[in-house]
Amino acid sequence: MGWREWALRKSPWVFHLSTGSCNNCDIELIDCLTPRYDIERFGILLVGSIRHADILLVTGSVNRRSAPKIAALHAMAPRPCLVVACGTCACGQHMFKESYHTVEPLDAHVPVSVYIPGCPPKPEALIGGIVQAIGMIGRERADAPPRGPADAPAVPGAAGHG
Amino acid sequence: MTERIIPIGPYHPLQEEPEFFRLHVEGERVLRLDIQLGYNHRGIEKLAESKSYDQIIFLVERICGICSTSHPFASVNAVENLIGVAIPERARAIRSAIGELERIHSHLLWLGLAGHFLGYNTVFMWAWKARETVLDIFESISGNRQNYAMFKVGGVRRDIRDDLAPGYLAALDRLRPTLDLFRKAVEDDPVIHARTKGVGVLTADDIRAFGAVGPTARASGVDVDVRRDDPYAAYDRVEWKVCLGSNGDIHDKIVVRLLEMDESLRIIRQCLGPLPPGEIDARVKGVPPGEGIGRHEAPRGEVFHYVRSDGTNRPARYKVRAPSFMNVATNVKAVVGGTISDAAIILAAVDPCYCCTERAVAVEHGTGRRLWGGDDLVRLSRDRTRRLREEMGRP
């Protein structure tokens, strides 16, 4: 691990992308910033531009309108940029799989490092997933080809209906 | 001066829904606004036609995460309207209590984000901290902080335990000082007055022209509330009042939402203390052919669901109209004539499941391109608050 990866692990900046979600995962992500969970104490900062981000948090089931933008946004990010799929929709499209406006799942567009299931995942599960992604910085090539969900580690305690 | 276009969105970090606004500006003044939707379209109405009536509740719950009770509420109202079934008293009280708890959490969420846009991050943090109280109650009742899955046709899916209800009420009472604090701050702070009074004004005629609903309409003095106009659940069995504003500006929208939270606490207290005894489910068997409509006053306004049945276990047609669909259109009126630094809060004021101010790009026509970072719009808004605070001598 070089000095760059070592520094990244101390302050990973995250960018949040909604690809057609119901807001729940997005609210819970923002909830992680507020006093009870306060992920900023780990050096995690929600940033306004993908060009500043080290981790891309994706929510939603990927629809026709957002699909072309995902790979483009991921390409704009500085390397390494880890992708975390937040919620059942981003992991496997949930009940929107059969919708006419839903296209291929997220991991067909960008390589996903961590899957956090749950509808929505609890903030504890989200923090757990992000921490797991931090652990992967420097240990794995972030621009590796897309993988199936079976290869990725599951996050313990990620529960919820659905 | 040349006209410029500022595209806002569709993606930014503090928004829950992707929406795309195009602000046409001349210098600081906003001339026109275009709105483009569709980034969040998931084909839910079509999907509903392939699901049974029990599954639809879970599907419409996921239309909007903040209104994850409002859509099931309107949905069961629609199906029950079709069937013509009587709901047990206990189920009615539980439904209303859940609906009002959601209103409190949604309004606190909005208040926090409004504070964030005005440059009061303390309000953001405090409001969201207070909101955790409501989420804890939801987790205790349903096992999930959001998407509570409480509704079913003919009643509710699970009971609220009588021995836990007093604890919920006590927790909500501890919320009251925080709400009073917010109300006093909004009433007294001259900087908040300067930023919100007379900003983004919608007259009662504008509201009627756009068909706007909910707190957006009530802040302009338009007296509409489905809970009173067409009572359902336990809303005609409890005492409460509709909160109205008069000026239709941002300030009145904040005040109306703060007052509504007090009314919600009153309704919950009457529903839960004590809950009426009895069954929680009318045990519906089958849905006959016919049509039904269901309405619910969601935190953002009236939700409308329509269902047509052909006698099978799936609807032949399902239709949803959400309040933001009407309210977002009012931005076209409210934002025009104001300054860019007010655009952030005006677009946020109708609580549109968030507008996209943090990823803005300004494009200059003629003389090449000039890019604004997404944070610039919020920075402009915050700078203005800071300037006003300095001028008024309130550090």
* Contact residues on chain B for A26, CB-CB shorter than 8 A: 15-17, 65
Q: What is the pLDDT of residue B18?
A: 66
What pLDDT does residue A140 have?
A: 57
Q: Is residue A147 part of a domain?
A: no
Give the 3-state secondary structure of residue B24. Answer: strand
Q: Is B263:B297 a contact under the CB 8 Å cutoff? A: no
Q: Within a domain: residue A42?
A: yes
pLDDT at A149 over 50: no
Mutual angle of helices B89-118 and B70-83, in 10-degree steps: 150
ipTM: 0.81
Q: What is the pLDDT of residue B225?
A: 92
The per-residue pLDDT for B82 is 93
Q: For residue B341, which phi and psi values (nearest 5 degrees)? A: -70, -20
DSSP-derived secondary structure letter, B200: S
In contact, B335 and B200? CB cutoff 8 Å: yes
Which ranges in chain B belong to alpha helices (H)?
44-48, 53-61, 70-83, 89-118, 121-142, 165-173, 176-188, 190-196, 204-210, 215-218, 226-229, 250-272, 323-329, 331-334, 340-349, 375-391
Report residue A102: phi and psi, to 5°.
-100, 135
Domain assignment of residue A145, yes or no: no
Kindly state whether residue A120 falls inside one of the protein's structural domains: yes
Query: What is the predicted pLDDT for the residue at B375?
Result: 62
Q: Any chain B CB within 8 A of the CB of A154?
A: no
pLDDT score at A162: 36
Range of the domain at A128: 7-140
pLDDT in tens, chain B (395 residues): 577 777 766 665 445 566 677 777 777 777 777 776 667 777 888 888 999 998 999 988 888 888 888 899 999 999 999 999 989 999 999 999 999 999 999 999 989 888 888 888 888 899 999 999 999 999 999 988 888 889 999 999 999 999 999 999 999 999 999 999 999 988 888 888 888 888 888 999 999 998 889 999 999 999 999 999 999 889 999 999 999 999 888 899 999 999 999 999 999 999 998 899 999 999 888 899 999 999 999 998 888 999 999 989 899 999 888 888 788 778 778 877 777 777 777 777 766 653 222 223 333 333 333 444 456 667 777 787 888 788 877 76
d(CA B239, nearest CA chain A) in Å: 32
Query: Residue A144: its pLDDT value, please?
Result: 53
Q: Does some domain include residue A162?
A: no
Cβ under 8 Å to A: B residues 147-206: 147, 149
Residue B38: per-residue pLDDT: 67
Strand partners, A56: A15, A83
**Quick check: helix, strand or coil at residue B275?**
coil
Q: Look at B166 and A160; give whichever has higher pLDDT.
A: B166
Instruction: Name the residue of chain A whose CA is nearest to B145's CA.
Output: A122
- pLDDT at residue A150 tops 80: no
Domain chopping of chain B, boundaries: 4-40+330-391, 44-320
Q: Name the strands in the sheet holding B301-309, side by side, starting at the edge strand that comes first in the sequence.
A: B290-298, B301-309, B315-321
Distances (CA, A) of B326 to A90, B203, B344: 29, 15, 19
Q: What is the number of domains present in chain A?
A: 1
Written as six digits, the tokens of B53 are 């009536």
Nearest CA in chain B to A96: B42
For B:52-71, CB contacts with A below 8 A are 58-59, 62-66, 68
Residue scoring higher pLDDT (A101 or B261) = B261
Q: Tell me, what CATH number does A91's domain have? A: 3.40.50.12280
Contact by Cβ (8 Å): A107, A85: yes
B4-40+330-391: CATH topology: Enolase-like; domain 1 (3.30.390)
Considering the entire predicted model, what is its pTM? 0.86
Instruction: Output the six-digit token pair for B118.
Output: 């005005």
For residue A159, pLDDT beyond 70: no
The mean predicted confidence, pLDDT, of chain A is 80
Higher pLDDT, A57 or A21: A57
**What does the pLDDT read at residue A107?**
87
- The CATH topology of domain B44-320 is Cytochrome-c3 Hydrogenase; chain B (1.10.645)
What's the rounded Cα separation, in Å, for the pair B253 and B248?
7
The answer as to whether A100 is a domain residue is yes
Considering only the beta carbons, identify the residue of A18, A48, A161 that sits closest to B147: A161
Q: Is B16 near chain A, with CB under 8 Å?
A: yes
Give contacts of B43 with chain A, Cβ < 8 Å.
96, 99-102
Confidence band of A147 (pLDDT split at 50, 70, 90): very low
The mean pLDDT value for A19-29 works out to: 85
* DSSP notation for chain A: --HHHHHHHHS-EEEEEESS--SHHHHHHHHTTSTTT-GGGGT-EE-S-GGG-SEEEEES--BTTTHHHHHHHHHHSPSS-EEEEEHHHHHH-GGGTT-TTB-S-GGGTS---EEE-SSSPPHHHHHHHHHHHHHHTTTS-TTPPP--GGGSPBPTT-----
